[in-house]
Structure 1
Amino acid sequence: MDRPKRVDGSNLSAQDLDTLRSSVKGKVVVKGQSPEEEYRPLLERWNRMHIKEANIIVLPESEEDVSSTIKFVAEHNLDVAIASGRHTYSGPSSGYGLIIDMRNLRKVSVDVEKQTAVAQGGSLAGDIEAAAEDVGLRPVMGAVNATGCGGITTGGGIGNLSAQYGLVADNLLAARVALADGTIVVASDEENPDLFWGIRGGGSNFGLVTEFTYKLHKADPFVYSGFFMFSSDKIDACIDLMNVLHLDYIMKSNGKFACTGLTAIMGGNVIPGFLVWYDGPEEEGKKYIKPILDLGPIYPGSGAEVKRHTETTDWKQFEKMFPPEFNRLVGTTTQVSYPISTDIIKRTVQRFQEIVATRPENLSVSKLMFDLRDYSKVTSVPLDATAYANRREGCLIAVDLIWDQEELDKEMMQITKDFITQVRAWVKEDNEQKGVADVGAHVGATTLYALVSDGDEKLASVFGSNLGRMKELKRKYDPGMMWDKWYPVSPDAN
């Protein structure tokens, strides 16, 4: 189907812009008209590779403002993007047309008796975590608190609590969604259940979520968590330990122990380490990290400590790993089944080291991660129960190439794609040699975690066997392709 190309709004008249301003209570910032000191900060993104100079930025103050803005977008066929936390790998919160920037809609209310939280669509994960922790509860959110709840919820969402309670999306009870015509509807198991299915893993394909209602969980606020580093000569030993940690410790912890292998580059050498998180007291946590301590980390006495769960997701601690000048990055993922082929992991680390060595001054803060957590709770949900398609048990391999110069963007994007393509080929070859078929309850599950991706993956790799239903919903809720920034699904039949 041919659709008129969406425009960036640069041809809107002064009268058109005045109409927009009069229809919303929130601020309307226009490129070239608003002061630069007001306009420029609104463009900033965690990943500066995806900063685009939008012609119009609307900062809604209410759900009614969101509705009015969408109606304006529809009337003028504008290119539109949604900005919540602005903490994405692939840049769906950026665009050259109109940005609906939700940063002023961050109110969170907690119902202690019902164990629920209601959060406005611009809330950050940290807003919800802090409000819940104050009353002895926890939401399921992601790895860092700077992430917008809009992106991580509609994209699925994995965090340290997922082994006990599932995805962020699995803990969503209801949402209020602004559709492509500006109508606000409720999505839940009872109301518009098809839309509720779609926003749990389908991203922003069907609308802008103005409000989320989450299930909360009773919990002690304190956990045992930290990071252990090892000398470069222990990289093979750390890799060899991964299967032991997963099988004998993580999978026997009832979801309470989460562990991620991490490799970074220091002085040209690969420095291995483990991020650990245990939902319980220190004396119990130490039992689960014993093999890590036995391996002899560099700082065994200060690697982990008791802290609030909200401290473990605080972005400030991770910011130290990302010097300000290294602010351009691409992340991508794949998954390998257990028991992990240590040969694949070692080859992956070796290739990572080779890539960084080609430009050590530009890529020195890049990271390679191996997520060893228990995915049993995630995979216990039927694959067709939500749009989210990565319900597969396995070790998620994630690469973050991080650099400092804009002129390297294109080169680094291609290098990252070639890298993950190679790793996927190794995994496929290993499976064929072992005679491992795609078996189990989630045969159609994908091996890609779409929230950590380059944005150019094929739709079948993102949505798997759920893609057909996604197309049906797109025809119903967004046939004009207004929402086209995060793995946009075409409403066309083929």
Structure 2
Amino acid sequence: MSNRAPRNDGSGLSAAQIDALRGKIKGKVIVKGEAPDDVYRPLLQRWNRMHIKEANIIVLVESEEDVSETIKFVAEHHLDVAICAGGHTYSGPSSGRGLVIDLRNMRKVSIDIGKKVAVAQGGCKAVDVEKAAEDFKMRAVFGAVNDTGCGGITTGGGFGNLSGQYGLVCDNLVAARVALADGRVVAASETENSDLFWGIRGGGSNFGLVTEFTYKLHDCDHDVFFGVYLFGPDKTEQVLDLFNVLHQDYVLKSNGKFGVVGVFSAMGPVIVPAFAVYYDGSEEEAQKYIQPLLDLGPMAPPGHPIGGKMMRHSATTDFAHMAAMFPPEFSRIAGSSTQVDFPVSKDVLKKTLEVFQAKIAKYPQNLHVSKLLFDLRDCSKIASVPSDATAYAGRRTGLLIAADLMWDDPKLDGEILLEARDLIATVRQAIKDSNEQTGIADVGAHVGATTLYALISDGEEKLVSVFGKNLPRMKRLKAKYDPNVMWDKWYPVEPDHEAV
């Protein structure tokens, strides 16, 4: 049963109480107003600066035991708590004004060659596992950017260039160790606490803090082809015309090896189309798949040659590729997403681009480096797993549409967040209208549940849009593993105490 009490930010804790925590852990306890600014401020930094909050206490844990003791301290004093691994999120669940459990000092990775698994501490970033696996000619499945923390992308589902062959990041999770709300640390796998294992694969941090991940690895002894093909704005219509062709005749015929993302970038008042491509194979093979792009006549990006080249997989997910597209001063980001089934109506694509352009035009001095993404990668492997097999419910094969509105003025935070929501809401309505015109019923037409990719969102969407028909089970699990709702930063689910 619940014994829920209001949570506080820890500002009322005494020096003796803080010292008691220090005495129980090996890591450091950083207190606002006590630690020098050059120590405290860097610990607050996040990828999305819109969500930086001044935490009263930051605990730099160094071990699973540190995590356990810190959670017990949080429970004892009814503290607001956040978990920070990579700090690379759209919606800011890694920040809080109370106590932050910061895992940055827990980044050890070990590879078991015989079992073909990687064991990673909870503070690892994807890059840590990717590079460790590559040293043994194996690959780990993560997202498009390896600066993300393993914790967020794994428990959130996780989709990347290898997902066409191997599924979601969470589908490649073999086992985990999870620190629960009472401080206990338990194993989770298909054979141990299998309900918890179900929940952490798509349920985020709702059920605990993962201190250790064990990932399945995949043999690979070759580089991959990766590149960006940029086109003039005058070719926007032709780029849109390629979407269904690329997906049907190239992506789906590559056995998951070829992936394409359409990127429309605001460069001042002009929207420039491009395709980012990935092929898990030789350059000679890749040329066959990118031929439609070459036929369209790409232009050279400023200071770069046209097209792609062979490189290590971990180089394709290097954040430097993204950083080049996102100037550092524009580091406040509002993202949202939705999906539409293939073949995609060109009217829907044009409407999406039209609304995006209108948002840029409304804030020409503030949103002029924003991006609109159309993910054409193959989701068949993801969709082949039943939607109730894990907490992650969005197992669809449709086109993912995602918006990244970017600015640098904190005064515009609330306003542009609403603009991002309105953009995607308008696109969803266009999808619904298109489906009705073609005689497709609402059911299964992507106008109801699981209408977004939760890792590209602002965190305020309806829970049914994230968890779909899995929500009732999520509520029962919440009552079992976190009855007092300690973990409340990432799509927090209310516990169903009556069902326990």
Quickly name the TM-score band, shorter chain normalised: over 0.9
Please name the residue that 1:223 is paired with: 224
* SS in structure 2 at match of 1:173: strand
Whether the 8 Å CA contact 1:47–1:327 is kept in 2: the answer is: yes
* SS in structure 2 at match of 1:383: coil
Whether the 8 Å CA contact 1:391–1:442 is kept in 2: the answer is: no
Matched, 1:288 2:292: no
Among 448, 453, 470, the residue aligned to 2:457: 453
Please name the residue that 1:335 is paired with: 339
Among 365, 386, 401, the residue aligned to 1:382: 386
Among 408, 416, 420, the residue aligned to 2:420: 416
Cα separation, 1, equivalents of 2:383 and 2:497: 29
Cα separation, 1, equivalents of 2:351 and 2:394: 24
Matched, 1:274 2:278: no
Whether the 8 Å CA contact 2:435–2:445 is kept in 1: the answer is: no
Please name the residue that 2:15 is paired with: 14
1:146-182: CA deviations, max 9, x gaps? 0000000000000000000000000000000000000
* SS in structure 1 at match of 2:214: strand
Whether the 8 Å CA contact 2:405–2:420 is kept in 1: the answer is: yes
Please name the residue that 1:481 is paired with: 485
Partner amino acid for 2:8? Answer: V
Matched, 1:355 2:356: no
Whether the 8 Å CA contact 1:391–1:445 is kept in 2: the answer is: no
TM-score, normalising length: structure 2: 0.97
Of the structure 1 ranges 434-443 and 359-368, higher mean CA displacement relative to structure 2 is found in: 434-443
1:285-342: CA deviations, max 9, x gaps? 0100000110011139631111111110000121111112101011100001100011
Whether the 8 Å CA contact 1:117–1:132 is kept in 2: the answer is: yes
- Compute the displacement of 1:35 (Å): 1.1
Cα separation, 1, equivalents of 2:247 and 2:470: 29
Matched, 1:244 2:245: yes
1:6-42: CA deviations, max 9, x gaps? 0000000111001011011100000001111110000
Q: 1:89 to 1:440 in 2, by over 3 A?
A: closer
Partner amino acid for 2:108? Answer: K
Please name the residue that 1:397 is paired with: 401
Matched, 1:108 2:121: no
Matched, 1:212 2:216: no
- Compute the displacement of 1:227 (Å): 0.1
1:198-227: CA deviations, max 9, x gaps? 000000000000000000000134001100
Whether the 8 Å CA contact 2:449–2:466 is kept in 1: the answer is: no
Gaps in structure 1 of 5+ consecutive residues: none
Partner amino acid for 1:288? Answer: Y
* SS in structure 1 at match of 2:23: helix
Please name the residue that 1:315 is paired with: 319
- Compute the displacement of 1:447 (Å): 2.4
- Compute the displacement of 1:242 (Å): 0.4
* SS in structure 1 at match of 2:114: coil
Matched, 1:302 2:306: yes
- Compute the displacement of 1:364 (Å): 1.1
Partner amino acid for 1:370? Answer: F
Please name the residue that 2:234 is paired with: 233
Cα separation, 2, equivalents of 1:189 and 1:443: 33
* SS in structure 1 at match of 2:82: strand
Q: 1:353 to 1:443 in 2, by over 3 A?
A: closer
Please name the residue that 1:94 is paired with: 95
Cα separation, 2, equivalents of 1:184 and 1:444: 37
Cα separation, 2, equivalents of 1:391 and 1:161: 16
Whether the 8 Å CA contact 1:59–1:102 is kept in 2: the answer is: yes
Please name the residue that 1:141 is paired with: 142
Partner amino acid for 1:430? Answer: S
Matched, 1:34 2:38: no
Q: 1:221 to 1:53 in 2, by over 3 A?
A: farther
Partner amino acid for 2:57? Answer: I
- Compute the displacement of 1:113 (Å): 1.5
Whether the 8 Å CA contact 1:392–1:442 is kept in 2: the answer is: no
- Compute the displacement of 1:68 (Å): 0.2
Whether the 8 Å CA contact 1:136–1:218 is kept in 2: the answer is: yes
Cα separation, 2, equivalents of 1:382 and 1:347: 32
- Compute the displacement of 1:433 (Å): 1.4
Cα separation, 1, equivalents of 2:445 and 2:141: 24
Cα separation, 2, equivalents of 1:307 and 1:401: 30
* SS in structure 1 at match of 2:495: coil
- Compute the displacement of 1:441 (Å): 13
Whether the 8 Å CA contact 2:448–2:465 is kept in 1: the answer is: no
Whether the 8 Å CA contact 1:333–1:396 is kept in 2: the answer is: yes
Whether the 8 Å CA contact 2:222–2:281 is kept in 1: the answer is: no
Whether the 8 Å CA contact 1:392–1:445 is kept in 2: the answer is: no
Percent identical pairs in the alignment equals: 65
- Compute the displacement of 1:236 (Å): 0.8
- Compute the displacement of 1:437 (Å): 3.4
Cα RMSD, aligned residues only: 1.6
Q: 1:421 to 1:485 in 2, by over 3 A?
A: same
* SS in structure 2 at match of 1:23: coil
Please name the residue that 2:48 is paired with: 47
Cα separation, 1, equivalents of 2:69 and 2:3: 26
- Compute the displacement of 1:271 (Å): 0.4
- Compute the displacement of 1:2 (Å): 8.3
Cα separation, 2, equivalents of 1:433 and 1:5: 50
Cα separation, 2, equivalents of 1:354 and 1:469: 41
5 Å-filtered alignment, 1:243-262, equals 243-262=244-263
Cα separation, 2, equivalents of 1:114 and 1:37: 44
- Compute the displacement of 1:284 (Å): 0.2
Partner amino acid for 1:18? Answer: D
Cα separation, 2, equivalents of 1:220 and 1:103: 30
Cα separation, 1, equivalents of 2:322 and 2:422: 27
Whether the 8 Å CA contact 1:383–1:442 is kept in 2: the answer is: no
* SS in structure 2 at match of 1:92: coil
Of the structure 1 ranges 297-306 and 392-401, higher mean CA displacement relative to structure 2 is found in: 297-306
1:212-267: CA deviations, max 9, x gaps? 00000001340011000000010111001000000000000000000000001124
Cα separation, 2, equivalents of 1:464 and 1:128: 31
Please name the residue that 2:78 is paired with: 77
Please name the residue that 1:167 is paired with: 168
* SS in structure 2 at match of 1:10: coil
Whether the 8 Å CA contact 1:164–1:255 is kept in 2: the answer is: yes
Q: 1:269 to 1:444 in 2, by over 3 A?
A: closer
Partner amino acid for 1:448? Answer: L
Q: 1:180 to 1:480 in 2, by over 3 A?
A: same
